[in-house]
Structure formats: structure tokens, C-alpha cells
Amino acid sequence: MLELRPNCELCDKDLPPDSNEARICSYECTFCAHCVETVLHNVCPNCGGGLVNRPIRPSVARRPGVSLQHDPASTRRVNTRYSRQEIESFAHGVKDIHPAKR
């Protein structure tokens, strides 16, 4: 089950569970749309994979036991361990490779 992290790992912007701005990689690294488009260039700085829209978990259980109420989003904030310069350099070297080929 997705962790639904509460913030952008780069700029620390709040990304609540219903945010349309949240982007994730296959490891659930989480970033805001602005950082993905302007700094990361669709490159996860942690794994090199692509970033996609994070799904929104239903707030209301339309099936028994399946909702944010039963499976709440994480409250643990995560920040990348790489500097902005390291991230920009890494993204620059990978951004022109299609995510499926990275």
C-alpha cells in the first residue's frame, strides 16, 4: 500500500493525500509537480526513475475498510539527502533518456 508521504522531498511543500500536485517514483519518493517540471526534469534524484501522478486514496469507504479513514496517509516527512547542485547535475545527465530505458 502506498505510504502517501506528506511533503515534497525537495522543497518541503505540503502534499496532502488528496493533492493533484504530488508525483512519485516506483519507490514512492515524493515530489511536487513544480519541482518535477523545473528542477528534476522528470528524474527521481534518488533512483533515476521517472515520476508520475500519485494516486488519490478515497476519503470515504465505498467498500468496507478501504479509505483514508482505515489506511491513513503517512505523517513522516522525508527530504532528499542530495544537494540541489547534485540533483541538478544528476537530472541533467539522465533527463533525455526515456524513463522506461533508464
Span 33-76, pLDDT tens digits: 999 999 999 999 999 999 999 999 999 999 999 999 999 999 99
Q: Which amino acid is at 28?
A: E
Quick one: what percent of the chain has pLDDT higher than 90?
A: 99
Would you give the DSSP letter of residue 86?
H
pTM, 2 dp: 0.92
> Residue 57 in contact with residue 31, Cβ under 8 Å?
no
Q: Which pLDDT belongs to residue 6?
A: 98
